[in-house]
Amino acid sequence: MPENGRHGASIELENLTKRYPGNTQPAVDNVSMEIKAGEVVIFVGPSGCGKSTTLKMINRLIEPTGGRIRINGEDVTDIDPVKLRRKVGYAIQSAGLFPHMTVAQNIALVPRMIGWPKGRIASRVEELLDLVGLDPGEFHGRYPRQLSGGQQQRVGVARALAADPPVLLMDEPFGAVDPITRDHLQDELIRLQHELHKTIVFVTHDFDEAIKLGDRIAVLRERSHIAQFDTPEAILTNPADDFVSGFVGAGAALKRLNLTRVRDVEVTDYPTVTVDDPLQEIFNRLRSSGTNEILLLDKRGRPYKWLRRGDLMWARGSLARAGTLVHDTVTRDATLRDALEAVLIDNAGRVAVTGRRGEYTGVVDMETLMNSVHELLEADRLEALEAQHELEEARADRTHAEQEGIGGEAKA
Amino acid sequence: MSFWEYLGNRHQQLLTDAYQHASAVLQCMVVATLLGVLIGVATYRSDLAGSLATTTTSTILTIPSLAMIGLLIPIVGLGVPPTVIALTLYGLLPIVRNAIVGLRGVDPSLVDAARGIGMSRPAQLLKVELPLAWPPILTGIRVSTQMLMGIAAIAAYASGPGLGNVIFRGLASLGSANALNQVLAGTLGIIVLALLFDAAYVLLGRLTIPRGIRA
């Protein structure tokens, strides 16, 4: 997807190191990684592993003791940090909104600092509030303490995005809100990223959050050593070592279900009839379909009732009393996990899939789910093995080169 | 002569004294506020400098005001200079201490956010830290002003301006007809002035403390 790079910028960290005076061990030790433009990379790891420190070195809130940082190929290790930070959005835990300024004033800070004209700032503030799902008219003049935690966090993200920076750094931004709000904010972030294509570096200690949001995840161990840096799928199916699998935790296969959407798997087609069809037609369809059941759609094509053979006998030909109402459907955008949940709850073990306007598109049952999960896991495993193989080759090459060059080059 | 008759006869003189008293306190407060906030800004980030500033200013406060003014006379002479110097020095402590406490009390995550979005150091101070530390600083200013109201009366000892003159005149002629009236008028005048100033500060707080952090 070439347009993905349109707004983002690549980030390269090269041998980034942070030593605090008085400590023998560096807090961050020789981290190198490449983050592609428009990518969401999650740093995840236990507390104190240096993930936050690594993040803060990217906008030099913490000055690195060694190594280079390049953003879009430009070395920013030695430029004025104030200028650097105005080009890099920064959102933190519990939002960090200035309590003495209104929502609008908070968002306008960076554009004002870089000298945008007043009119442009005002319209940008409205645009951003709209973007993060807050009504500009209502929230514009409020003070942070008049907002809920989730709303504050939205304003925090809006402030970080104000001057349209190519890079967005987020330091456990959703760490202090309740689980339901957090889920909401994560969905919003995914939606935003769909529109904006920023390069986002996101720190969290919650692995599920990492899986949900990340294009790639860097699992960090102490001193910010990268234990594994790969796609969520690869980490779930093929953790690099015990540390990573310990962090992934139990239920990797279940978590894998979160990564696939219903539209990615094959849904079964079910015989359907609509409420307008004559009764005889419904009987015929039931008989010819070979299944025990048929799905009755309402006038707008939405799933309405499951009809069994016996139901029609009982109801003596009246559709109003026959069958069981469809109480749960999933959309094509739902994750397989949601689908599994719906299938497990359903007494017949299947759930109807609906399109954008709620219209019927197919049915997912236990068998479909099991087959797709097996296929997914198998595919992941093959992919991961291939990647590992490549990695080992690359590593072998590097070791080889290092051993060759050990006498000649002095190491920095 | 009753107290009310005394007030009626001498109100011209008393009003002048009161005006001079208020004006001296106000001007010294302005200087003390500027100096105090500057000292606070310069020292709050370092433990050592911060405690040095508070200790020094509180040591100044322990010197009896009469002694301080007496000591200043041989150095700077009589009249306005010793008054201004003494009042400014006494006014410093509450302001310096509250400025340091207020600036240190700003949530570190907010300072982190200010740096993170690209504010320069002066901008962080002017746009975030000082506005957030302003309520405690204003409290310091109020306390200082109350204190200076009383201390300014002593300034009359060095021929300084203000209501102290009336009180000293009365004390010097105890037993004479108007002595008690003079002392009473001076003291009450200072109390009234102090109350007026305090009301002004409440108004100032209303006007200058942003709605988002008002208690």
In the numeric block, the tokens 């945008």 are attached to A116
| pLDDT tier at A372, thresholds 50, 70, 90 | confident
A321 and A364 co-located in one domain: yes
Calpha distance A29→A221 (Å, rounded): 11
Do A147 and A280 reside in the same domain of the chain?
Answer: no
Domain membership of residue A379 (yes or no) is no
Number of domains in chain B: 1
Looking at residue A188, which CATH number applies to its domain?
3.40.50.300
Q: 39-78 in A: which are within 8 Å (CB) of B?
A: 59, 61
Are both A55 and A170 inside the same structural domain?
yes
> CA-CA distance, A279 to B80, in Å (whole number)?
108
Q: Over range A383-405, report the average pLDDT.
A: 74
Give the mean model confidence (pLDDT) for residues A34-48. 90
Burial of A137 (0-12, 13-18, 19+ CB in 10 A): exposed
> What local confidence, expressed as pLDDT, does residue A314 receive?
67
From the first residue on, what is the mean pLDDT of each consecutive set of 10 residues in chain B (215 residues)? Answer: 82 88 92 94 92 89 87 86 89 92 92 91 93 94 92 83 86 83 89 93 91 80
Query: What Rg, from alpha-carbon coordinates, does chain A have?
Result: 26
Statement to judge: residues A172 and A286 lie in one domain: no
> Where do we find the tokens 């070592």?
A241
Contacting residues for B168 by C-beta, under 8 A, at least 6 apart: B156, B157
Structural domain of residue B59, as residue ranges? Answer: 3-213
Q: Which residue from A85, A93, A145 is facing B117, i.e. has the nearest CB?
A: A85
Judge: B115–A85 Cβ closer than 8 Å, yes or no.
yes
Token reading at B173: 């002629």
A239/A270 same-domain check: no
Q: In 3D, which of B53, B25, B24 has the Cα closest to residue B144?
A: B25
The domain that holds A295 is classified in CATH as: 3.10.580.10
Of A82, A100, A145, the CB nearest to B118: A82
Q: Which residues of A touch B116 (CB under 8 A)?
A: 59, 61, 85, 90, 92, 96, 169
Range of the domain at A299: 263-368
Is residue A105 within 8 angstroms of chain B, CB to CB? no
The answer as to whether A139 is a domain residue is yes
Between CA A225 and CA A28 the distance in angstroms is 8
Q: Which of B51, B44, B57 is nearest to B144 (CA)?
A: B57
Chain B residues with beta carbon closer than 8 angstroms to that of A61: 112, 115-116
At B105, which CATH number?
Answer: 1.10.3720.10
CA of B108, closest CA in chain A: separation in Å?
Answer: 9
- Within a domain: A267: yes
Read off the pLDDT of each residue in A182-203 and give the average, rounded to a whole number.
88
Say how far apart CA A366 and CA A388 lie, in whole Å: 32
Count how many domains chain A has. Answer: 2
User: Which chain B residue is nearest to residue A94, measuring alpha carbons?
Assistant: B109
For A79-101, write each residue's pLDDT tens digit: 888 889 988 999 988 888 999 99
Residue found by looking up tokens 């200690």 in the block: A205
Please tell me whether residues A222 and A278 are part of one structural domain. no
For A96, which of B113, B132, B213 is closest by C-beta distance?
B113
Question: Smallest Cβ distance to A92: which of B113, B131, B212?
Answer: B113
Is A56 part of a structural domain of the chain? yes
Choose the mutation target among B110, B111, B117, B138 for the interface with A, i.e. most A CBs under 10 Å: B117
Residue B78 burial (CB < 10 Å; 0-12/13-18/19+)? middle
A214/A281 same-domain check: no
A306-321 pLDDT tens trace: 888 777 666 666 677 7
Please report the ipTM that was assigned to this predicted complex.
0.81
In a domain, A406, yes or no: no
Which one of A350, A368, A386 terminates a domain?
A368
Q: How far apart are CA B136 and CA A209, in angstroms?
A: 41
Last residue of a domain, one of A212, A227, A249: A249
Does A204 touch chain B if contact means CB atoms closer than 8 Å? no
Kindly tell me the burial class for residue B108, based on how many C-beta atoms sit within 10 Å of its own C-beta (0-12, 13-18, 19 or more): exposed
pLDDT in tens, B163-211: 888 888 888 888 887 888 888 888 999 999 999 999 999 999 999 988 8
In chain A, residues 157-176 whose CB comes closer than 8 Å to chain B: 159-160, 169
Does residue A245 share a domain with residue A267? Answer: no
Q: Does A82 touch chain B (CB under 8 A)?
A: yes
